[in-house]
Amino acid sequence: MKQLFLILTACLSFALSPAAAQIIQVKPVDEGPQVPGFAQYRADFLDAVRARDIARMLDFVSTDVHLSFGGDEGHAAFIQFLTRPEDLYSPEYRHLAKKHRAEYWAALEDVLTLGGQFKDGKTAFSAPYTWAVDIDLPQMFTPYETYFVMGSDVPLRAGRSGLSRVIATMDHEVLLLDFNELDGKEKRFLKVTRGNGQQGYVRADQVTAAVGYRARFERDGSSWKMVMFLAGD
Q: Dihedrals φ, ψ of 175, to 5°?
A: -120, 155
Percent of the chain with pLDDT over 70: 89
* Confidence (pTM): 0.86
Residues in the chain: 233
96 and 202 Cβ atoms separated by less than 8 Å = no
Please name the residues in contact with 81: beta carbons below 8 A apart, sequence gap of 6 or more.
67, 72, 104
Q: How far is CA 87 from CA 30, 91, 92, in A?
A: 39, 8, 11
Domains of the chain, first to last:
32-131+211-230 (3.10.450), 143-209 (2.30.30.40)
Segment 150-186, tens digit of pLDDT: 999 999 999 999 999 999 999 999 999 999 998 988 8
Percent of the chain with pLDDT over 90: 72
Q: Say whether 114 sits in a helix, a strand or coil.
A: coil
* Sequence-ordered strand ranges (E) for the chain: 61-66, 117-119, 124-127, 146-149, 154-157, 166-170, 174-177, 189-193, 199-203, 207-209, 214-220, 223-230
